[in-house]
A = this chain, B = another copy of it.
Amino acid sequence: MELEGAVELQQAVRFALFHTLQAGARAEGRAIPAKGLTGPGYDGHTFWDTETFVLRPLTYTAPRAAGDALRWRHATLDLARERAKVLGLDGAAFSWRTIGGQETSGYWPAGTAAFHVNAGIADAVVRYRFASGDDAFEHDAAVELLVETARLWLSSGHHDSHGRFRIDGVTGPDEYSAIADNNVYTNLMAQKNLLAAADAAERYPDRAWGLGAGPEEVAAWRDAARTMLVPHDGTLGVHPQAEGFTQHAVWDFAHTSPERYPLMLHFPYFDLYRKQVVKQADLVLALYLRGEAFSLEEKARDFEYYEALTVRDSSLSAFVQAVVAAEVGHLELAYDYFGEAAMLDLDDIYHNTRDGIHLASLAGAWIAAVAGFGGMRDYGGSLSFAPRLPRRLSRLAFCLLFRGRRIRVEVDHRQARYALLRGDPLEVAHHGGAVALAADEPVTRPIPPAPPRRAPNQPPGRAPLRHRHSSSGTGESSKEDRS
């Protein structure tokens, strides 16, 4: 990946990709821990963020490593089946935190109840299958992973009297909420999981048959997906993180002094759980991972609403906020979040890098650049781009591996250039328009201007750390400055 205009961030992205590849490519059939092998933090455990974040760059740059990691999860399937049984559910309940496959989170409302890990695994499986074309993996592991996670969702939800499929009493990604009904991220990711399982079962009827998944069960998955409840607050015109969330009191940010962050070290969870305060992207993560389920204007409104509530007491947030900020048009804000994610360990921003690097945030630096400024999405298995650079970057270039192809994307402020360096012709999208790629025939497309938007507010003192070395050298502050 090449970044022009930000020498330090160029180095940081290389540092990030080095660690991501080192931890991923040499996991050798074991879990990829949250710290890789760089330190004792989290005692070597792996969490939900491996599949949701770390496997994303690996899938498109070192697909074999992504496949290995998913095969490791597949190897823990019997333990996950046992866990589901203990919880009174069908299918498999993969661990939110683990080393060898057993759930090791000590406090179930924040661990076990975060069932979204299962949809994150399913999503990574689908992504890897599309990007790698690894048919052996699909036949041997993917169908089974998708079927068993779909079963979990079907048994963990139910239809209400209006026919809507509800998933109650679970915990979403945000660790300042727990055991809520109809977490939007969870429900939308479960929806995708259910549909992916139905598709896989129909593609591999022999495997589905062997797993006991007949047409009735597949129809039930499709029905649950079709009727999945996605709560919306009509008064505020935004999506609540979970049902009722936007009715809760807003955290008293004005009277929370800087030294009381991170909040979980200074306030009881009783207080955090019941109020509108967000540790890490949750609804905003849904805007990215299930972006096709929202209009651009919905994303802009939701993003602005959650910006004002998100304190980023977690390293799993800045790069997600960067991606959605870039998409809705807050490019300078996206750049600041990108910088924070990329520099997290090099600048020891959290004062705990001695315990090991923050692998998901390092993978997140790639995500912020590729999905943020490159606007790369892979909904439905096709590649689309909507690149736009912040003023402080003059050029971004990156390569992706996709089904044996090698694609290079190069972006400046005026245009994007798509080149197929290797492999068969392919159609991708640029800002919604089709782009046919063939080897040695690079295509150039102009960058449409970003929609003008008022800069959103963060809670006082919780704006992203402004990256110190501006590329422009003018010292000029962006028009999106937050006071």
Please report A residues at the B interface, Cβ cutoff 8 Å: 86-88, 108-109, 112-113, 158, 160-161, 166, 168-170, 178-179, 181, 235-236, 243-244, 247-249, 267-271, 273-275
A162 CB → nearest B CB, Å:
8
Query: Residues of B contacting A158 with CB < 8 Å?
Result: 249
| Among candidates B87, B178, B269, residue contacting A271 with C-beta atoms closer than 8 Å | B87
| A332 and B158 alpha carbons, distance in the complex (Å) | 36
Contact B168 A269 (CB under 8 A): no
A169 to chain B, nearest CB (A): 3
A179 lies within 8 A of B244 (CB): no
Find A270's partner among B112, B249, B267, B269 (CB 8 Å cutoff).
Answer: B112
The 8 listed contacts between A and B (C-beta, < 8 Å) are A88-B271, A109-B179, A161-B235, A168-B274, A169-B248, A169-B270, A178-B179, A244-B244
Residue of B nearest to A266 (CB): B88
Contact B87 A270 (CB under 8 A): yes
- Measured in the bound complex, the distance between the Cα atoms of B109 and A236 in whole Å is 30
CB-CB under 8 A from A87, the residues of chain B are 268, 270-271
A-B complex: 4 closest residue pairs judged by Cβ atoms: A169-B274, A158-B249, A168-B274, A88-B271
A169 pairs with B273, CB closer than 8 A? yes
Taking the closest CB of chain B, its distance from the CB of A155, in whole angstroms, is 10
Query: Across the interface, do A179 and B113 meet the contact criterion of CB distance under 8 Å?
Result: no
Copies in the complex: 2
Min distance, Cβ A90 to any Cβ of chain B, angstroms: 13
Contacts of A271 in B (CB 8 A): 87-88
When chains A and B are docked, how far (Å) is the Cα of A460 from the Cα of B65?
53
Give every chain B residue within 8 A of A268 (Cβ-Cβ).
86-88, 108, 112
B243–A244 contact, CB under 8 A? Answer: yes
Q: How far is the CA of A248 from the CA of B161 in the complex (A)?
A: 10
**Is the Cβ of A248 less than 8 Å from the Cβ of B88?**
no
Interface of A is mostly: loop
CB closest residue in chain B, given A156: B274
- Chain B residues whose CB sits within 8 angstroms of the CB of A244 once the complex forms: 168, 181, 243-244
What is the distance, in angstroms, from A87's C-beta to the closest C-beta of chain B? 6
Q: Are A267 and B88 in contact (CB under 8 A)?
A: yes
Give Cα distance in the complex from A236 to B166, angstroms.
18
Q: Is the CB–CB distance between B166 and A247 below 8 Å?
A: yes
Provide the bound-state CA to CA distance between A178 and B179, in Å: 9
Query: CA of A440 to CA of B279 in the docked complex: distance in angstroms?
Result: 70
Which residues does chain B contribute within 8 Å of A267, judged by CB atoms?
A: 88
Give bound CA distance, A270 to B271, whole Å. 21
Contact A160 B112 (CB under 8 A): no
* Complex: A414 Cα to B54 Cα, angstroms: 78
> A252: nearest residue on chain B (CB-CB)?
B88
Chain B residues near A170 (CB-CB < 8 A): 274
Contact A168/B247 with A161-B235, A267-B88 known, Cβ cut-off 8 Å: yes
In angstroms, how far is the closest chain B Cβ from the Cβ of A172?
A: 14
Q: How far is the CA of A88 from the CA of B169 in the complex (A)?
A: 25
Given A108-B269, A158-B249, A244-B244; 15 other pairs, CB 8 A cutoff: A87-B268, A88-B268, A108-B268, A108-B270, A109-B179, A113-B270, A161-B247, A166-B247, A168-B275, A169-B273, A169-B275, A170-B274, A179-B273, A181-B248, A243-B244
Complex: A158 Cα to B247 Cα, angstroms? 10
Structural contact, B179 and A247, CB atoms closer than 8 A: no
Least Cβ–Cβ distance between A234 and chain B, in angstroms: 11
Interfacial chain B residues near A160, Cβ < 8 Å: 247
Closest to A248 in B: B168
